[in-house]
Structure formats: C-alpha cells, structure tokens
Structure 1
Amino acid sequence: MIKFLIEKEFKQLLRNSFLPKMILIFPCMIMILMPWAANLEIKNINLNIVDNDHSVLSRRLVDKIGASTYFRTTALPDTYNEGLRFIEIGSADIILEIPRDFEKNWVTGNSPRLLVAVNAVNGTKGGLGGSYLSSIINDYTRELQSESPAKAMSAGMGLPRIGISTQNLYNPHLNYKLFMVPALMVMLLTMICGFLPALNVVGEKEVGTIEQINVTPVSKLTFILAKLIPYWLIGFIVLTICFFLAWLLYGILPVGHFVTIYLFAVVFLFVVSGFGLVISNHSATLQQAMFVMWFFMLILMLMSGLFTPVHSMPEWAQLIAALNPLKYFVEVMRTIYLRGGGIVELLPQLGALMAFAVFFNLWAVRSYRKSS
C-alpha cells in the first residue's frame, strides 16, 4: 500500500511545473549567495584622515592604513569638524586625526597622540572598525621602534617584552565561510523537509483529496510515511548537492566523515518533518500553515547559533535555545566540518535530536485525525 502512496506523491510533485525547479535552484542560490552576504567580517570601512602634520611619518601611517583591505579612505578633510560633517551625512564611518606635532613628538622621545572618532550607530561595525585601526597603529608603532632602537632604549621601550604567538585552531585563516556553510546546509534541510511536507498536507485538506484517503483502510502511520519519504529522499539529494557546491565553490570539505553527517541528517529529518506535520495537522488552510511555519522557522533560525554563538546570548535566551533542535544539528555540522568530531563526541547532540524526533512524530501521529 505504501508503495502506491509514495508513487502518488512523486507523480503529484513532478506534475507541478514550478516546485521541482525550485527544490533544485533554491539550494544552489543559497550556497552561492549566502556565504558572501551572511558574513560578519567588516570590510570597506569608510575612513577620513585629518593630517595636521603633513610629515614623513604621518604620510607613512596614511599609506599603511590605505594598504589595508579593511579601510577605504574616502576623504582627507582639512579639519576635524569638516570630517564630522562627513560622518553626519553618512559618507564616513571613522575619522583619524593626526596632530600637528606628530613627527616632532616622536623624534624627541615623547608619546604622540592620535584621535580616532568612530560612528557607533552600528555598534558592531564601529567596534570592529576601531579595533582594526588601533591594531594597524600599534603595528606601525612597532615598526618605528625597530627602526630606531637607540631612541626606543632611551625612552624606556627597550626593556624585555613578552612575545605573544597566536595560533587559530581548526580555522587557521579565520575563513568565515567555513563557519557559515555547514549551518546553511542545516537551514536548507529544515526548509525543504519541514516546510514543504507541511504545506503538502494542508494543500490536500484545501482541495479535499485528503477526505478520499481518510475513508480508505490506510493507517495514519502509513499515510504520514508516504507523505514524508519523498521529501526525505529529496533532502538527501539536496544535502549531497550542498556538499559538492561547498567543495567546488569554496574548497570546503569536512574534516570528519560524510557517513557521520548522513547519520545525523536521518535523525534531523525525522525531527523537522515531524514538527512540520504537527503544524499541518493543526492548520485549516494553506495560508494559516505558512504563517505559523514561518513564525517558528524565523525564531528557530535566529536561536540556532547561525549568526551569533549561543554561548554569547543571555542566560534566558540560552535556555530557550536548548529547546531548539536546529541548535544541536548546527553544532554537529560545524563540529564535523571544522574539528572532525565523531559519533562518540556528539552523543549529547544525538540524544537531544532523537528525543525531539520521538516527541514531534508521536505528536504528529496522535494529532492527525482520520475518520474511516
């Protein structure tokens, strides 16, 4: 019986001229565009430099900042107040003011001061931009000290200093795409295997074909499996396409095994499809199901650690995130891709996903009302 129901679902899917194309094009567009758009690296920061000294050292500093990929020098105003007007009209993010006696103070052994004024309307951009600029200035200071060690010694700067060597584990080049791409795969599986089956069931309610199923001897479990299995297969195809695109476009391959990813994906598909069926069972119209599904999807995605780490959230938000199944699968994908974690290391996430799968699917079976 289930074989014919699955065949019906595939025929119904293929008869739709738009849906099969969207299922294939949607993941490709997400994998191509989102890793570039959903990027928390701050670049192309508009910088205005007010050089009151016009000396060799100040010119070298301006050139060093201009060589950075993070800043774009948009103007060289004559005064600080003129630079502020550029910030007010939105054409500048940061102002660097070099004082008149910058080179003189350095040559005489004094500590020259620089003014960095940051537009902090966008707190993230302002904070990171100011930090980048401070790092460049500190690096420039070390260059000057190495060029004149005698003067640095006389100024008390030649004392032994503790050297710091930084090693970035698991992502040595700080490639943000390596952090985002695995999480985007989770979002795609959620949309395709959670959203579409729910809308499919509600669509049959609206056109009345589900009433014909209800008067047949088909059990609730058989009907639900017939609805889900086609989208599970599509989900695995989409996941495989994402693996290929991640390797082809960004050179990203998991440190761990693909088998581990597919194993967790099976459990996760049970979770999101069961959740989608719960919503469809309690929705009377397609419009209602779409609004409810979008409401939950938006919250689940934002609370999954897609953009910001869950541990950086307030404690009350972390408690809410603990009830989010997407959080656990995002942790699984990033662990396997970045650190090569195995099943033993990911047992807590596996247990949480299995608990969600049992809960949502039992709820879906019990809430589906079938009259025979």
Structure 2
Amino acid sequence: MKTIKYIVQKEFKQIMRNKGMLPIIFVMPLLQLIILSNAATFEVNNIRLSYIDQDQTSLSRELISKFEASEYFSVLGVYPSKKEADNALKRGEVDVVLEIPRYFERDLVREKRNSLAVYLNAIDGAKAGVENVYLNRVVRDFNRKISVELMQPEDRTLKQMNILTIPSFWYNETLNYKTFMVPGILVLLVTMLTLFLSGMNIVREKEVGTLEQINVTPIKKYQFIIGKLFPFWVLGIIILSVGLLIARVVFNVPIVGNIGLIYLFTAVYLLVILGMGLFISNYTDTQQQAMFIAWFFIVVFILMSGLFTPIESMPDWAQKLTLLNPIRYFVEVIRMVMLKGSGLGDILWHFGVMSFFAVVLNALAVWSYRKTN
C-alpha cells in the first residue's frame, strides 16, 4: 500500500503541475454540459412555413391564421406560384410549403370535404415527420372548428359522441427535454474525460522516457496500474459530483432515487473506462495514437448508447452489439435512478454486467503491461 501511495502522489503532482491541463479537466466538461444540454434537443420549433393561397377566401385566411397562432410555426409569407415555392425549398429558405387549392371554400361547403397539398423538406427525415405531425394537428383543429360552423342548424342539436383521452406523464411531467438529455450528456463527459486521460497516461511516460526508470524499480505490475488508475478515478467522481450539482441547480433535473446508488455504479463504471484506457495505452507508442484509438471507440459507444437513437429502433444485430457497450448501461442506470427512483434491485443486472467488464478489462490492463521490452 505504501508503494501504491507514492505512485498516486506522483500522479496527482503531475496533474497539478500541468497548468494547461487543469482547465481542460475541470472547466471544459462543465461548460460542455451547460452548452450541450441546451443545444442537444430533438424538439422541433420555429418551423418556417410559407403558403400558396389560390383560393383567397375567408376560410383560407382563417386556416393561415391558425398556423400564425401556433407556437411551432413561423409563417414567412405567401408565394404566388408553386414554382417559386419549390425554389424556396431548394434554397433552404423554408421548411414547409402549404398549398391551398382553388375553390377550397366552395368545395368544402358543397362536398363537406377537401384536400390540401403539403411540401416538406425531408432531408432530415425525423424532423420532417415531426413537422408533419404538428401540421396535421393544426389542420385537425381547424377542421373540427369549421365542421360545427358548416353544420346545418337542425344537425347542431344532435348530441355528438366524443371520446377523450386524459394523459398522465410519469417521470417528466413538464415534458422538458433537458430532463432527458442532461443525465446522458453528463455520462458522456465523464466517460470522455477519464478515457482520454487514462489512454494517454502511460504513453506520456514512454514519450518523456520516465517509463524505463519506473520499470527498473521493484514495483509490481498491479501496483503500477492501481497507482496510475486511482487519480483519474477520483477526478471522474469529482466531475460527476459537480455535474450532478449543475443538473440540479441550473437545469432543475430531479434526483428522485438514492444518489448513493449513482456513486456506487459510477465507481465500478470508472474502473471499466480507466481499464480500457490503460489497455489502449499499453499498446500505443505515442499520445496521438492513443487519442485516435480512444476516439474511435468513444464515437461507436456514444452512437450506440441509446442517448440519441433509441436502442429499440436499431436493427437486431445492433441491439445485440450494444450489450457490449458500457455507456449504454450507465445512461440507462443514471436515468432510472435520477428520474424514476429505481432501487438496487432494479439496476442489479446492469451492476453485475459492469462489474464483469471491470474485472476483465483491468485484468487485461495488468496482463498487457510489460516491464521489459
């Protein structure tokens, strides 16, 4: 233990001496949490809508006023022809073009039905789908209103059958997207910081030539790995603590469950990430190589973690592949504990898998480290 203590002291001194590294470790992750949590959202607002009104009647103007009153749409103006509207879509000036046909009001009064043409910029398919839902909602409300107005007086006395649904939103009553995103982004920042720092740790010793001096000492391999790992484990816990404080104070994200469970799972999770970083460091010769390899893995882990794309929407082979992704388990656990109030029994399977990963990766890190060339 005394040997490990000296190695840990050496690592902390090296971290504190590097004045350029301290802002990267402590300041940048917190700024990224604040910025990304406000920017990373799937909510669609300020949809740029223009229209072609070939009817020019009171009903067509009333329909346009419905869109102007909607909080999701920004009505930019009217186009005299479909050709000009198509050009505006190509130039990216508008997102949606609504075409109201000629004799829209007359046919609606006579036939009690009509149709509208809608043109959407679907380069981003997910965004276009949401825009279509919002547009249909506005049209449906307009249709419900004019149906009563166009109904014959004798029909208005008839009692209409209507079924209402009363939703109850659990775990995120205000439907605030930051409540969903902040815990996941916090996981990514803790992961990236600890993986990159641990991945470049031993490599830096190789580059400056101090690794050979350490290798000729009687330090055992496991003592060296633990001494290298522990300081970054502590940094990961500190970053998590400050991130949770920002999530609660700045973004008002609830912490319903036991915060001790989050720290317990994080303690094991950091062992997985640090073991992976040290394993990468053992097989690279420069910090640049270590950074590229770590970045390759982190990109795959992030995209397949379920943070931005639901795992249930992935192909079967991708869903099975995510079982090897440690970020997936941490994202699920931190949301379960913070937002649902899940207990140890609910996350026991995640904890068991993470413990297995920690044992395997750290065993590989110790095994792959060579004291002789």
Q: Does 1:66 align with 2:104?
A: no
CA contact 1:6–1:229 (8 Å) conserved in 2? yes
Aligned residue in 1 for 2:101: 99
Report if the CA contact (8 A) 2:203-2:281 is conserved.
yes
Query: How far does the alpha carbon of each residue in 1:143-189 deviate from its partner, in whole angstroms, 9 at most, with x for none?
Result: 333556656947xx964233223333222232211111111111111
In the alignment, the residues of structure 2 paired with residue 36 and residue 143 of structure 1 have an alpha-carbon distance, to the nearest angstrom, of: 37
| Shift of residue 57, structure 1, vs aligned partner | 2.5
Which deviations, in whole Å up to 9, do the C-alpha atoms of 1:344-367 show, x marking residues without a partner?
Answer: 011111111111111101110111
User: Is residue 137 from structure 1 mapped to residue 139 from structure 2 by the alignment?
Assistant: yes
For residues 150 and 13 of structure 1, do their structure 2 counterparts lie closer, same or farther at Cα, with a shift above 3 Å needed? same
Cα pair 2:30 2:243 within 8 Å, conserved: yes
Structure 2 SS opposite 1:47: strand
* 1:54 CA drift (Å): 2.5
Residue 316 of structure 1 deviates from its aligned partner by 0.9
Q: Which letter does structure 2 place at the counterpart of 1:363? A: L
Of residues 114, 117, 120, the one that matches 2:119 is: 117
State the SS of the aligned residue for 1:96.
strand
SS of the equivalent of 1:250 reads coil
Match of 2:30 in 1: 28
1: distance between equivalents of 2:69 and 2:169? 24
Amino acid at match of 1:264: F
**TM, length-normalised to structure 1:** 0.94
Shift of 1:240: 1.0
Q: How many residues align?
A: 371
Tell me if the contact between 1:152 and 1:158 (Cα under 8 Å) persists in the aligned partners.
Answer: no
Distance 1:184 1:249 in 2: 14
Paired residue secondary structure (2:92): coil
Q: How does 1:74-223 map to 2 (within 5 A)?
A: 74-108=76-110, 110-146=112-148, 150=152, 153=155, 159-223=160-224
Which residue type is aligned with residue 352 of structure 1? V
Matched to 2:271, the amino acid is F
- In the alignment, structure 1 segments of 5+ residues that lack a partner are none
CA distance in 1, matches of 2:174, 2:259: 23
Equivalent residue letter for 1:5: I
Q: Normalising by the residue count of structure 2, what TM-score does the alignment of the two structures yield?
A: 0.94
1:140, distance to aligned residue in structure 2 (A): 1.9
Equivalent position SS for 2:200: helix
Q: Does 1:246 align with 2:244?
A: no
Structure 2: segments with no counterpart, 5+ residues: none
Residues 188-197 or 355-364, more deviating: 188-197
Distance in 2, Cα, partners of 1:194 & 1:31? 17
Letter in 2 for 1:292: I
Q: Do the aligned partners of 1:97 and 1:116 also contact (CA within 8 Å) in 2?
A: yes
How far off its partner does 1:58 sit?
Answer: 2.1
In 2, the alpha carbon distance for the partners of 1:25 and 1:87 equals 42
Give aligned-pair identity as a percent. 42
AA of the residue aligned to 2:272 = V
